[in-house]
Structure 1
Amino acid sequence: MTDESPQNPFDAMMKQAQEMARTLNPALEAFSFKELEAFWPTMTRDAMEMMFGRTVNKDGLDARTRLLLILAGLTIHGAQADTALRQTVRHALEAGAKKQEIVETIGQVSVFAGVPATARALALAREAMGEPKDDES
C-alpha cells in the first residue's frame, strides 16, 4: 500500500486528456478557450442560421430560439462554462435576441439552476452584453 492519497477522478481525467493532447499534437497542450473566444468572438447571423437555424429543417426552430435554449441549458448546468455562455449570449444577440430575452431565459430556468448558477449566468451574460459589473456601476 502506498502513502499517496486517492486522486480526484476529474483531475485524473484532465491529466489523461492533457497527455493525449501532448502525444497527438504538442501545440494543443497550450490551447486556451479564452484565446479562442478572442479570436472568434461571434459568428455571423448567416453562419448561425446555417449551423443552428432552419437551413436543414425549414419548419424547425430558428437560430435565435436554439441559442436561447442553449443558454438555458448552460445555466441549468451551473453556468460553469464561461466561454461557452458568453459566446452563446453574443451569438443570440447577433441572431436577433433582445437583451431582455436573454435575461428572461436565464431567469426562467433559475428554479432548476439555483441561485448561485443564475447569478453567475447573469454576470457572464452582462459581461458579454458589454454591461458593467455590479461593483463597477
Structure 2
Amino acid sequence: MPQQAGNTYLQGLALIAQLHGNHAGQSMIDEMKVICPDFATMTIDWAFGGVMARPGLDLISRQLVLIASCVTLGHAMPQLRAHVEAALQIGASKEQIIETILQLTFYAGGPAVRNALVELKDILTPSPTPSTNP
C-alpha cells in the first residue's frame, strides 16, 4: 500500500476485493504489484477507487460495459475473463453476459465476438443438468 493511501485507494481495494477476490482480476493486480508497483497503485486508486466507484451505474452495468470494451478491443482476453468473472461474482447472469457480447457482432465484428465466446467457453457453457435416472 502506498505510504499515504488516500480514500480513493482504500475504496479501490475494497471494490477489487468485491469484484475480483480470488479471481483473475486479483491475480492481475498482484502480478502488476511485482512488475510495476506504480501501475498497480494507479489502477487501484484511479480505475477502481475513482472511475469504477462513481455514481450513475450499478456494478453489473459497469461490468457489462467493460466486457463489451474488452471484446471490442480484441486483444484484452485476460481482462475480458476478469470482468466476466467479476460480473458473475456480483450477480450478472450468463445470459446477460452472452447477450452483451452478441450485441457487438455488427459493431466490433463477428471474429471478435467468436473469439471472446471461445475464450469464455469454460465459464459460459451451461452446466449439464444432473440426470435423475440412476
> Structure 2 length normalisation: TM-score?
0.53
The share of aligned pairs that are identical, in percent, is: 35
> Unaligned stretches of 5+ in structure 2?
1-19, 27-47, 127-134
Note closer, same or farther for the CA distance 1:107–1:70 as it changes in structure 2 (3 Å cut): same
- TM-superposed CA distance for 1:82, in Å, is 1.7
Runs of 4+ in structure 1 off by over 6 angstroms are none
1:118 aligns with 2:113: yes
Note closer, same or farther for the CA distance 1:88–1:61 as it changes in structure 2 (3 Å cut): same
- TM-superposed CA distance for 1:112, in Å, is 1.0
Separation of aligned partners in 1, 2:53 and 2:84: 23
Matched positions, count: 85
Separation of aligned partners in 2, 1:75 and 1:112: 11
Separation of aligned partners in 1, 2:53 and 2:76: 28
1:1-137 to 2 correspondences below 5 Å: 40-41=23-24, 51=48, 56-57=53-54, 59-78=55-74, 80-129=75-124, 131=125
Separation of aligned partners in 1, 2:95 and 2:69: 18
> Unaligned stretches of 5+ in structure 1?
1-36, 44-50, 133-137
> Structure 1 length normalisation: TM-score?
0.52
Separation of aligned partners in 2, 1:107 and 1:52: 30
- TM-superposed CA distance for 1:66, in Å, is 0.3
Q: Deviations over 1:77-132 (max 9, x none)?
A: 12x22211111110010121100000000001111111111101111222334x38
Separation of aligned partners in 2, 1:110 and 1:63: 24
**Greater relative contact order, per chain length (Cα 8 Å cut-off, separation 6+):** 2
Separation of aligned partners in 1, 2:59 and 2:120: 18
